[in-house]
Structure 1
Amino acid sequence: MTIDVPEAYGRALDAFGALVHRIAPGQWETPTPCVDWDVRALVNHVVGESLWAPELLAGRTSAEVGDAFDGDLLGDDPIKAFDTSAVAAVQAVTARGALEGVVRLPFGDVPGREYVTELFADALIHTWDLARAIGADERLDPELVEACAAWFAAAEPGREQETAPGESRSPAEDAQARLLASWGRDA
């Protein structure tokens, strides 16, 4: 399946954001499927990635950015912090030339398209993590699941996982369960 990567990222980030807006005051310390992360830490992680995106897509290195996005990025208004960072990230990934440029990550240079695809995949998987943590509907957009699974299978050959014998699910649920399993989630 071919999908517009910036659009997919925007849609995944929108879905995550919709859940951020549903977090009840007492849920910020709720554990998530991500080991050692509660809801606040998970949202902080996504906000951090969203803040890094404009910097890296503009050609800055992680060394140049330094520790600007370390620590608590949510402050007293986590929802506003998410919304502001998401808008900036989507603007950065949809900017002319963002996908064609080179992103300088600590482990090496990667094409902008690959970096944005990784952002998309991370936002999609963390949408499920957040939904699970706050007790929301865990179904992910099937088109995004398919696109993410295709990218991940190409990037990590042999990582696809089949549904357990005797397990009966709809094809969309199977695809989501396989994707989540390939990312270490027990759906």
Structure 2
Amino acid sequence: MSNDPKEAALRYASTSAEAFRDNADLVGSLGATEWENATGCAKWDMRALEGHIVGEAVWFPHLIREVVDGEPPLPGEVWGELAELPGDDLASRIRGAADELVRNVENASPDDLQKPADLGWMTIPLWQGLFVAVMEGVYHNWDARASRDPRAAIPTAWALVLAERMPVMAGFLARQEELQDAKGRYLLEVGDGVGPVNLKVDGQVVVEGGSVSSPDATLNLSADQYVRLIVGRFPLGPAIDRGEVSLSGDRRRAESLNHVFKGIANE
């Protein structure tokens, strides 16, 4: 994949927009009793999850306007109002925001996309910040889909975009207090064109492309399984038992990766 800022920003915007639109379709089909159902994000039921998704969908295109045009941030009360929208209105806002996200990136210049964007917890170039939109759109759409089907999968095309920056995100998402029990070298043989991934846990988590000799455990994963593993949404034990993932080496150590990568808001 190209790392040209404009091409990457368009790829991130179009992928997240596809996921947001898919989520809007799901929201439009929800029955009255489904809003209280559990989701793939352990701390949120469907109502809370969709309140978060609509906020993120609206926030990212506005962030581009803040960076490019100098617009002020949206008022704080907007987020609570969005979260309380009835289902049809919520779906409409998500879908409209997805369209605006792509349009705003298309209209941004390469220089605009290099400008710093304040994400609240870090400031990075705008084009890189748009990768977070992919994470929000794709992972939380999966969370919503998993409410109906716990065996739901992330579409391969979306998973491949997420996989681009998993080596960076893995170190950020790893739980430091769990590293000692998971100490070792892991080889993730990731399909769908991703290739081998070398994951080392030794006081920190380092993830690099390429193979490694004599790993403690080797796992064969699809792109979907790989990107869900890193964010705490792919329990390895049941998948190994069902034959969905093949393992060679130390099973206990392999399953310890689920403790290292528990995810955010997903304990």
When normalised by structure 1's length, the TM-score is 0.79
CA–CA separation in structure 1 for the residues paired with 2:171 and 2:120: 24
Is 2:84 aligned against 1:70? no
Q: In structure 2, give the amino acid aligned to 1:186.
A: F
Where in structure 2 are the equivalents of 1:5-154 lying within 5 Å? Answer: 5-59=12-66, 64-95=73-104, 96-97=107-108, 99-135=113-149, 138-154=152-168
CA–CA separation in structure 2 for the residues paired with 1:41 and 1:152: 26
Question: Given the superposition, is the C-alpha separation of residues 161 and 167 from structure 1 closer, same or farther in structure 2, using an over 3 Å criterion?
Answer: closer
User: More deviation in 103-112 or 153-162?
Assistant: 153-162
With a CA cutoff of 8 Å and minimum separation of 6, indicate the structure with the bigger relative contact order: 1
Is 2:222 aligned against 1:177? no
RMSD: 3.2
**Structure index of larger Rg:** 2
Q: Which string of whole-angstrom CA distances, capped at 9 and with x for unpartnered residues, describes residues 122-161 of structure 1?
A: 2111121111112387132201101101222244359798
CA–CA separation in structure 1 for the residues paired with 2:224 and 2:73: 38
Moved over 4 A (4+): 157-161, 165-168
Identical residues among aligned pairs (%): 19
CA–CA separation in structure 2 for the residues paired with 1:24 and 1:148: 31
Question: Given the superposition, is the C-alpha separation of residues 178 and 161 from structure 1 closer, same or farther in structure 2, using an over 3 Å criterion?
Answer: farther
In the alignment of these two chains, the number of paired residues is 182
- Report the 3-state secondary structure (helix = DSSP H, G, I; strand = E; otherwise coil) of the residue aligned with 2:77: coil
Unaligned runs of 5+ in 2: 3-7, 175-185, 190-216, 236-267
Unaligned runs of 5+ in 1: none
User: More deviation in 138-147 or 12-21?
Assistant: 12-21
Contact 2:13 2:101 in 1 (8 A): no
Question: Given the superposition, is the C-alpha separation of residues 80 and 153 from structure 1 closer, same or farther in structure 2, using an over 3 Å criterion?
Answer: same
The structure carrying a bigger strand percent of its residues is: 2
Contact 1:53 1:93 in 2 (8 A): no
When normalised by structure 2's length, the TM-score is 0.58
Question: Given the superposition, is the C-alpha separation of residues 10 and 161 from structure 1 closer, same or farther in structure 2, using an over 3 Å criterion?
Answer: farther
Instruction: Report the counterpart of residue 178 of structure 2 in structure 1.
Output: none
